[in-house]
Structure 1
Amino acid sequence: MFLIYSHTTCPRLQYSCNFIFKELLGIDFAITIDSEEFKNYEGVKINYSNQQFQFSTFNITPHSLLFETEIKAQQINCFENNSCKAFFKITNADFAFDIFAATFYLLSRYEEYLPHTKDMYGRYAHENSLAFKEGFLQLPLINIWVKNFVTEIKKKYPIFNIQCSMFNFLPTYDIDIAFSYKYKGLLRNIGGFLQSPSLQRIKVLLGLQKDPFDIYSWLNDLHQQNKLQPIYFFLVAEKNSQYDKNILPHKDAMWQLIKQHAKKYLVGIHPSWQSGDDEKLLNNEIKQLQAMAEGSSIHHQPSTINCSRQHYIRFNFPEGYQKLIEAGITEDYSMGYGSINGFRASVASSFFWYDLQHELQTDLRIHPFCFMDANSFYEQQFSAAQAYKEMMHYYKICNKINGTLITIWHNNFLGTAKEFEGWKEVYEQFIGVVSREI
Structure 2
Amino acid sequence: MLIIYTQKVTPRIIYVFKHICSNILGISIKFTSKIEEFIAHDGPKLSYGKQPLGNEFFIQKVDLLMEQGFSEIEIKVQPWDDTLCFFPVPEVSDLPFDIFAASFYLLSRYEEYLPHVKDESGRFPAGESLAAQESFLHKPVIDIWALKFREILSTRFPGLEYKKRNYKALSLIASENVFIFKNKGFLRSFLGLCIDLFSLNLGKVFDRMQVWFRLKSDPYDIFEDLIQLIRNNKTEMLFMFQLSDFSMHDRNISHNRMPHRSVIKSVADYATVGLLIGYYAMEEITTLRKEKRRLEDIVHSPVENAMNSRFNLSLSNNYSNLIELEIHNDYSMGYPNNPGFRAGTCTPFLFYDINMEVTTPLRLHPYAFNSSVLERISKTRIREDLKRMITEVKEVGGTFCGVFSNKDFSNYSDKKLYYSLLNQMHEME
Tell me how far apart the structure 1 counterparts of residues 52 and 104 of structure 2 sit (CA, whole Å): 24
Q: After TM superposition, give the deviation of residue 334 of structure 1 in Å.
A: 0.9
1:393 is matched with which residue: 388, 397, 400? 388
1:187-241 deviation line (CA, Å, top 9, x unaligned): 11221222233333223323334322121111111111111232111000122x2
Taking every aligned residue pair, what percent have the same amino acid on both sides?
29
1:62 aligns with 2:61: yes
State the partner residue of 2:398: 403
State the partner residue of 1:299: none
State the partner residue of 2:262: 256
SS at match of 1:139: coil
Tell me how far apart the structure 2 counterparts of residues 261 and 185 of structure 1 sit (CA, whole Å): 24
SS at match of 1:30: strand
1:266 aligns with 2:272: yes
State the partner residue of 1:413: 408
Tell me how far apart the structure 1 counterparts of residues 389 and 233 of structure 2 sit (CA, whole Å): 19
1:366 is matched with which residue: 355, 360, 364? 364
1:158-212 deviation line (CA, Å, top 9, x unaligned): 3334221222111211011111111112211221222233333223323334322
Which one-letter code corresponds to 2:44 in the other structure? V
1:377 is matched with which residue: 363, 374, 379? 374
User: Normalising by the residue count of structure 1, what TM-score does the alignment of the two structures yield?
Assistant: 0.92
1:32-181 mapped onto 2 (5 Å cutoff): 32-54=32-54, 56-92=55-91, 93-181=93-181
State the partner residue of 1:326: 324
1:368-394 deviation line (CA, Å, top 9, x unaligned): 1111111x212x3322x5433333223
Tell me how far apart the structure 2 counterparts of residues 349 and 7 of structure 1 sit (CA, whole Å): 29
Q: After TM superposition, give the deviation of residue 44 of structure 1 in Å.
A: 1.4
1:3 aligns with 2:10: no
1:290 is matched with which residue: 286, 296, 302? 296
Measured at CA, do residues 80 and 428 of structure 1 come closer, stay the same or move farther in structure 2, by a change above 3 Å? closer
Q: Is the 8 A contact 2:245 2:254 kept in 1?
A: yes
Q: Is the 8 A contact 2:105 2:111 kept in 1?
A: yes
Q: After TM superposition, give the deviation of residue 429 of structure 1 in Å.
A: 3.6
Q: After TM superposition, give the deviation of residue 28 of structure 1 in Å.
A: 1.3
Measured at CA, do residues 251 and 310 of structure 1 come closer, stay the same or move farther in structure 2, by a change above 3 Å? same
Q: Is the 8 A contact 1:203 1:209 kept in 2?
A: yes
Q: Is the 8 A contact 2:44 2:157 kept in 1?
A: yes
Tell me how far apart the structure 1 counterparts of residues 36 and 116 of structure 2 sit (CA, whole Å): 46
Q: Is the 8 A contact 2:243 2:276 kept in 1?
A: yes
Which one-letter code corresponds to 1:226 in the other structure? N
1:282-328 deviation line (CA, Å, top 9, x unaligned): 0000001111112xxxxxxxx31111001121321211101111122
Tell me how far apart the structure 1 counterparts of residues 111 and 342 of structure 2 sit (CA, whole Å): 11
User: Normalising by the residue count of structure 2, what TM-score does the alignment of the two structures yield?
Assistant: 0.94
SS at match of 2:121: coil
Q: After TM superposition, give the deviation of residue 364 of structure 1 in Å.
A: 0.7
- Runs of at least 4 residues of structure 1 off by over 6 A? none
Tell me how far apart the structure 1 counterparts of residues 194 and 427 of structure 2 sit (CA, whole Å): 43
Q: Is the 8 A contact 2:337 2:370 kept in 1?
A: no
1:170-249 mapped onto 2 (5 Å cutoff): 170-197=170-197, 198-199=204-205, 200-239=207-246, 241-249=247-255
Q: Is the 8 A contact 1:60 1:94 kept in 2?
A: yes
Tell me how far apart the structure 2 counterparts of residues 421 and 211 of structure 1 sit (CA, whole Å): 15
Tell me how far apart the structure 1 counterparts of residues 172 and 24 of structure 2 sit (CA, whole Å): 23
Tell me how far apart the structure 2 counterparts of residues 153 and 415 of structure 1 sit (CA, whole Å): 50
Which one-letter code corresponds to 1:83 in the other structure? D
Tell me how far apart the structure 1 counterparts of residues 310 and 38 of structure 2 sit (CA, whole Å): 49
CA RMSD of aligned residues (A): 1.7
Q: Is the 8 A contact 1:6 1:49 kept in 2?
A: yes
Tell me how far apart the structure 2 counterparts of residues 153 and 242 of structure 1 sit (CA, whole Å): 55
Q: Is the 8 A contact 2:38 2:45 kept in 1?
A: yes
Q: After TM superposition, give the deviation of residue 9 of structure 1 in Å.
A: 1.2
Tell me how far apart the structure 1 counterparts of residues 383 and 215 of structure 2 sit (CA, whole Å): 33
Measured at CA, do residues 85 and 23 of structure 1 come closer, stay the same or move farther in structure 2, by a change above 3 Å? same
Tell me how far apart the structure 1 counterparts of residues 423 and 153 of structure 2 sit (CA, whole Å): 40
State the partner residue of 1:343: 341
Q: After TM superposition, give the deviation of residue 22 of structure 1 in Å.
A: 1.0
Which one-letter code corresponds to 1:430 in the other structure? Q
Which one-letter code corresponds to 2:31 in the other structure? I
* Between 31-40 and 15-24, the greater mean CA deviation after superposition: 31-40
Structure 1: give runs of 5+ residues left out of the alignment: 295-302
Q: Is the 8 A contact 1:372 1:409 kept in 2?
A: yes
Q: After TM superposition, give the deviation of residue 435 of structure 1 in Å.
A: 4.8
Tell me how far apart the structure 2 counterparts of residues 429 and 356 of structure 1 sit (CA, whole Å): 38
SS at match of 1:60: strand
Which one-letter code corresponds to 1:346 in the other structure? G
State the partner residue of 1:300: none
